[in-house]
Amino acid sequence: MSQELLNKAVADSMKQDVPQFEVGDTVKVHCRIIEGEKQRIQMFIGTVIARSNGGIAETFTVRRIVNNAGVERTFPIHSPKVADIEVVRRGKTRRAKLYYLRDRVGKATRIKEIRAPSKKERAAAEAAAKAKAESQAVEEAAPAEQVPVAAEE
Amino acid sequence: MKQVKKMQPALLGKKIGMTQVYDDNGVLHPVTVVQAGPCKVLQVKTEETDGYNAVQLGFGDVKCHRATQPIIGHCGKVGAGPLAYIREIRCEEMPQKEAGQDMTVDCFEGVEVVDVVGTTKGKGMAGVMKRHNFGGQLASHGVKRKHRSPGSINGHATNLGTGPKIKKGKRMAGRMGGGKQTTRKHRLVKIDKDNNLLLIKGSVPGPNGGWVTVRKSKTARVKA
């Protein structure tokens, strides 16, 4: 009951349209920068190495290399100052936190990509599925004919 | 200063817990969520009948078998079930309220700063460092087994001037917490009318689920 009320209290402050992204993904964070009266958007591109906390307090940490120096920024997901989060590349990981990247440089920091299937691959997959369905249909039809024979015996 | 005669906005409520909210400028505020009201006006006290002006409010349902007969009868006069938390709000002038009325968070509209009265969490027997923010003794330099002790309590300085007793009210170790406390000048960040919630900046006394009284701040200076 009390947790429900807390959720209701923060409902207005929470974003409804947070894009789905996970640890290991490369993201482009649109940061809203307010300088006096003016406002502009600055990009920060890097690898998500952690997501922590939950609810309105949820944050994610993005790491990138700038001038041979590692830079990490932690953003609160629901902050109005984070204007948008774009997923550039999906990464495959076996860890929830990629802190090991801090000890690595160059090629060792690569993360395996989860690719969305290309047009060619999708066509091939569809063809394979179709062929399988057809062969199954043939198999199903064949035993059906044999059933009455078996019954006569 | 001219005294304000009207009844100041005040409500009884229940502390729900703490969380965070963003304001319009994107600044994150730590807030305590208080479920305030709707409160029942149980009795209106006036100078003629009671010697002072006040509104008695009640909040929080209790089961009849857990309430006392006097409470059941008192609340029953205005057609309410027994209420758990009953407090009076003093007014300068005769209050424009009637017994049986409901008061909701609407009364806090336009209020920016509030005070909160609650009962603090009991800490049990506590030493002087925790209870009165004493400095304690050194960690080394010959200090032995006395690191958190208060030190001398000035044996010869008494209320009489000098003598064998110590001054009254000397701060020492003892029971801490579990008493009434008022925290002042909290910014009222948001009023949620749909859910009867007040979002009050900062922490307020007491555990989650504890009863609190929220009122318009008495001490905050109003910007002209």
Q: How far is A5 from chain B (nearest CA, A)?
A: 8
Does the beta-carbon distance from B192 to A8 stay under 8 Å?
yes
- Name the residue facing A2 among B17, B22, B199 (closest C-beta): B17
Does the beta-carbon distance from B16 to A57 stay under 8 Å?
no
d(CA A75, CA B205): 31
To 5 degrees, how large is the angle CA A83–CA A87–CA A88? 120
Q: What percent of chain A has pLDDT over 70?
A: 92
Q: What ipTM describes this predicted complex?
A: 0.71
d(CA A111, CA B44): 71
Tell me the domain boundaries of chain B.
Answer: 10-122+177-216, 124-174
d(CA B118, CA B101): 24
Question: DSSP labels for B161-188?
Answer: SSSSSPPTT---SEEE--SEEEEEEEEE
Bigger pLDDT: B194 or A152?
A: B194
From B106, B58, B99, select the one nearest B82 (Cα to Cα). Answer: B58
In a mutational test of the B interface, the residue from A5, A8, A56 whose CB has the highest number of chain B CBs within 10 Å is: A5
- Name the residue facing B22 among A3, A32, A79 (closest C-beta): A79
d(CA B84, CA A79): 39
Nearest chain A residue (CA) to B35: A5
Blockwise average pLDDT, block size 10, chain B, 224 residues: 63 92 89 90 88 89 90 88 90 78 86 92 94 92 90 77 81 92 92 91 93 89 62
Q: Which helix H or strand E contains B83, and what residues bound it?
A: strand B83-90
In a mutational test of the A interface, the residue from B14, B25, B28, B199 whose CB has the highest number of chain A CBs within 10 Å is: B28
pTM for the whole thing?
0.77
Q: CA B164: distance to chain centroid?
A: 39
- Give tens-digit pLDDT for A77-135: 999 889 999 999 899 999 999 999 999 888 888 888 887 777 787 888 888 888 888 88
Q: Taking residues A35-46, what's their average pLDDT?
A: 90
Does the beta-carbon distance from A9 to B208 stay under 8 Å?
no
Question: Strands A59-66 and B197-201, how do they pair?
Answer: unpaired
Question: Which CATH number applies to B10-122+177-216: 3.40.50.10800, 2.40.30.10, 3.40.50.970, 3.90.850.10?
Answer: 2.40.30.10
Does the beta-carbon distance from B35 to A5 stay under 8 Å?
yes
pLDDT score of B1: 40
pLDDT score of B222: 64
Question: Strands A82-89 and A26-35, how do they pair?
Answer: antiparallel
Number of CB atoms found within 10 A of residue A75's CB: 19
> Given the structure tokens 């009671």, which residue do they identify?
B50
